[in-house]
Structure 1
Amino acid sequence: METSFLAIGELTATPSVAVVVDVMRAFTTAAWAFAQGAERIVLAESLDAALELKARHPEWVALKDGAPAPGFDAVNSPGRIRGTDLAGRTVVQKTTAGTVGALAVQGADLVLCASFVVAGATARALRGRPEVTFVVTGEDGRAEEDLACARYIAHRATGPAPDPAPYLRRAADSTAAAELLQHVRKGVHEDDVRLCLELDRFPFAMSAAPEDGLTVLRPYGERAGRGRP
C-alpha cells in the first residue's frame, strides 16, 4: 500500500481512497453518536448550513464545535454526546477541522473518517487498497494526535498491529489534549481526552458518501452499537 499524509490545504487532486483523521474530537464524537443509536450524520460545510438543515428538519440533532449556541442541540464532545439517546436520529455535524477535511475529499471513491476509537476497523477496511491518502485535519496537518492516529492505522493496515503505546502517548502529549484538559477549548467534558484515546472502542469504521445532495457519514462494516460501559 502506497500512503501519503497531507493537510487539507495540501490536497491538489481528489484521491481514490481517503482517510480523514480527527481524533480530538470530531470523529471520536461521531463514533459515539453512532454508538448512541444515530442513524446517520450529515456533514455540514458551515454553521449557517447546519442551522439551515436544522430549520428544515427540526427533529434532527445539530452539533458544533465550541460552546453551546442558539439553534444547536449539542456540542462536539464525546463525553457529552455519550449520554444522549440518539436512537434513529439524524445528526448534523459542523466542526473546525474534521468535517472540513471530509468535505474536501468528497469526490473520492471511498472516504473513511477516523480516530483511535475506530482505528482497527478502519485499518481492516483499507487492506488490499493499493493507494491511500490520509488527510491530517488538525493544526494545518501538524496535529500530533491526528498524525499519530493516521500512522498507526497505516501500519496496522499493511501488517501486524504495531504496539499502540507510542502512538497513544504522542496523542496524549499533543497540544489539542493539553487545550482540552485545561479547558482552553469550549464545550469540553472532563472525560473527552480519555475517550479520544480509547483504542478500538467500537467495531465499525465510518464512511462518508453523497446522499440526496448531502455528504452523509454512516457506519461502514460492522453495525454500530452502544458503547461498552
Structure 2
Amino acid sequence: MQISYFHTSESVPPLPPVAEGGPDAAVVIDVLRATTTIAWALQNGAEAIQAFADLAELEAAAAAWPPARRLRAGERGGQRVEGYDLGNSPLAVTPELVGGKRIFMSTTNGTRSLAAVRPVPLLLTACLPNRTAVARRLLERDCKRVWIVGSGWEGAYSLEDSLAAGAVASAATEMAVAPHIGVSFGNDEMLAALALWQQWHHDTETCLRAASHGQRLIGLGDHDADFACCAAVDSLQIVPFQAEPGVLRPS
C-alpha cells in the first residue's frame, strides 16, 4: 500500500482513474473539528452525514428532508452559522439530539476536501480518535494507493491535520506485518506528516493547541472539551465511509 498526503483540497491533483495510477482509496481529515464531529455523530446514532461545500446547496437538500429527521450543521470561521441547529463541535452531537437523524453539514474547510475526492472508490474520514480503525480498514480492503487529504484553513497548511495523517500512516505501518502487505510513502508530505506524529504522539492536545487553528479556537472562547475530544487517540472504532456521493455512513 502506497500512502500520499495532500495538506488541503487545493493541493489535490486531478484524479486519474484507478487503472491509470489513481487512488483506490481516499481518507479526508479535518481534526479541528469536522471529521471528529462526523465520527462522533455517527457513533451517537446519526442516520448519515450529508456534506456540502456550499450552504445554498445544503439548504436545498435539507428542505427536501422531513423536518423531524434532519439537522443542519453549519460552521464558518470556527463559529456556528446563525440559525443552524449545530456548529462543528463533537461535544454537541449527543445521542439525544442526533439519534436517527440525517445531519446536513457544511464547514469552512473539511467539506471542501470531501468534495475534492468524492469520485474515489473508497472514501473514508479520519481523525485522531479513529486513526487505527481507519488504518485497519484500508488494510482489510487491500488498498493499493491511498490519498490522505487534509483540510487546512482556507487553503493554508494546518499542523493538526498533518499530525493525524501521520497517525493514520503510522498505524497502517505498525499493522502491516505480513511480507506481502508492506506500506510505502508516495510523497515528501507524507514523510513529513509521519515525522510530525513521531514528535507529538505522546502529547497530541498540546500540538492541537499550538497549531494556528487551535489558537484561533482559543481566541473564540472556551473550547477545552473540544480539544480534549479531538486529541483523544484511538477512542473510537467507527469508520465513516461514503455510501453514496456526499453521504457518509458508519461502518
Length-normalised TM-score, structure 2 = 0.77
Q: Within 2, Cα distance between the matches of 1:217 and 1:19?
A: 12
Length-normalised TM-score, structure 1 = 0.84
Structure 2 counterparts to residues 41-56 of structure 1, below 5 A: 41-56=49-64
Is residue 152–residue 167 contact of structure 1 (8 Å, CA) maintained in 2? Answer: no
- 1:108 aligned to 2:120? yes
1:151 paired residue number: 166
Q: Which amino acid aligns with 1:175?
A: S
User: Which piece of structure 1 moves more, 35-44 or 52-61?
Assistant: 52-61
Gaps of 5+ in 1: 221-229
User: Which of 128, 134, 150 does residue 148 from structure 2 map onto?
Assistant: 134
User: Which of 199, 204, 226 does residue 233 from structure 2 map onto?
Assistant: 199
What is the Cα deviation at residue 52 of structure 1? 1.5
- 1:75 aligned to 2:109? no
What is the Cα deviation at residue 168 of structure 1? 5.2
2:182 paired residue number: none
Is residue 21–residue 27 contact of structure 1 (8 Å, CA) maintained in 2? Answer: yes
2:185 paired residue number: none
Structure 2 counterparts to residues 170-209 of structure 1, below 5 A: 170-183=207-220, 189-209=223-243
1:8 paired residue number: 9
Q: Within 1, Cα distance between the matches of 2:102 and 2:158?
A: 29
Q: Which runs of 4+ in 1 moved over 6 A?
A: none
Percent of residue pairs identical: 28
Deviation string for 1:141-182 (max 9, x for gaps)? 511000000011011112259863155543342112222122
Report the secondary structure of 2:98's partner residue: coil
Number of matched pairs = 213
Deviation string for 1:40-67 (max 9, x for gaps)? 1111231111111222222311101123
| Root-mean-square deviation over aligned CA pairs | 2.2
What is the Cα deviation at residue 81 of structure 1? 2.3
- When residues 105 and 143 of structure 1 are mapped into structure 2, their CA distance, relative to the original with a 3 A threshold, is same
Q: Within 2, Cα distance between the matches of 1:157 and 1:168?
A: 22
1:121 paired residue number: 133
2:26 paired residue number: 18
Deviation string for 1:5-48 (max 9, x for gaps)? 11211222323211111000001111121122101111123111
- When residues 83 and 175 of structure 1 are mapped into structure 2, their CA distance, relative to the original with a 3 A threshold, is farther
Is residue 136–residue 175 contact of structure 2 (8 Å, CA) maintained in 1? Answer: no
Q: Which amino acid aligns with 2:59?
A: L
- When residues 167 and 192 of structure 1 are mapped into structure 2, their CA distance, relative to the original with a 3 A threshold, is closer
What is the Cα deviation at residue 114 of structure 1? 1.0
Is residue 242–residue 248 contact of structure 2 (8 Å, CA) maintained in 1? Answer: yes
What is the Cα deviation at residue 90 of structure 1? 0.8
Gaps of 5+ in 2: 16-22, 177-196
Q: Which amino acid aligns with 1:191?
A: A
Report the secondary structure of 1:41's partner residue: strand
Structure 2 counterparts to residues 29-44 of structure 1, below 5 A: 29-44=37-52
Q: Within 2, Cα distance between the matches of 1:168 and 1:183?
A: 17
Higher Rg: 2
Is residue 77–residue 189 contact of structure 1 (8 Å, CA) maintained in 2? Answer: no
Q: Which amino acid aligns with 1:4?
A: S
Deviation string for 1:82-127 (max 9, x for gaps)? 3752221111111111111111111001111111111111111122
